[in-house]
Amino acid sequence: MKNLGQKNISALIALFLAITIVTSVDAKSNDSNTPIFEEDLSYLEDVQEYVDAYMEPSPMVFEEAPQTVKVFDAEGNLVLQGMVSELSEEGLKIYRQADYLSSLYNTKYYRLK
């Protein structure tokens, strides 16, 4: 019986120490002298306005200009000229066989081997 009383007393003391430690840590974390910083979120409105203005659709409409091609033979003579969409079957065949040289504005230049 005496042993049972000793165990209860030891358990009670351990429990008391645990409660004391937990409450002291909690009290230190809730210290009213600790400065509390409030976030200044007023700049978010300006940022949102800027983003909205940037994301507005542009009134300018970009239309793709018709693509003109010029195909030259090995000697530099013009073999084919026209818009790709309007080339005949024979013209498309020549166009596909040619090697790309360069482009200037809306015209692409090709040369046959």
The count of other CB atoms within 10 Å of the CB of residue 84 is 13
Contacts of 100 (CB under 8 A, 6+ apart): 108, 109, 110
Q: What is the pLDDT of residues 67-94, one digit of tens each?
A: 888 999 888 888 888 888 888 888 888 8
Encoding tokens for residue 86?
């309007």
Model-wide pTM > 0.85? no
Encoding tokens for residue 15?
């429990």
Range in 22-26, 41-45, 71-75 the model is least confident about: 22-26
